[in-house]
Amino acid sequence: MQGRKKIEIRKWNTSFRGPFLIHASGNIDEEAMKKYGYKEEDLSRQAIVGKATLEEVKHYKDEEEFKKDRDKHLAAWDLGSYGFILGKVETIKEIKNVKGALGFWDYPI
């Protein structure tokens, strides 16, 4: 987590608002790794690495609107994307060996 993204792009909407934990997938995105100069051994995997608050969701209906927020999400345009607007993003002490799930899910702390 570097705190560069203020908007997380997803293909689905949610009515959820509030605090949540940030989970690092067990899968590696080779293309993104090369694009941003990461090495596999430097990445957290299957771990909870941070927390944030989902403040609002923005539906991107056209590419122009999407590009206006480009510096906040770093993603490529995809028709119908939703921008999860984040607040209070913080790194936490990593909790390892946590299998994730799609969407928002409960994790006992």
Q: What's the total number of domains in the chain?
A: 1
Residue pLDDT, tens place only, 20-30: 999 998 888 88
Does the pLDDT at position 6 exceed 70?
A: yes
Structural contact between residues 82 and 9, judged by C-beta atoms closer than 8 angstroms: yes
- CATH code of the domain covering residue 84: 2.30.130.30
pTM, two decimals, is 0.84
For residue 89, the enclosing domain spans 7-96
Is 104 inside a domain boundary? no
Is 18 inside a domain boundary? yes
Alpha carbons 109 and 103: distance in angstroms, whole number:
18
Is 101 inside a domain boundary? no
Using a 10 angstrom Cβ sphere, with 0-12 exposed, 13-18 middle and 19 or more buried, the burial of residue 7 is buried
**What would you measure as the largest C-alpha separation in the chain, in angstroms?**
41
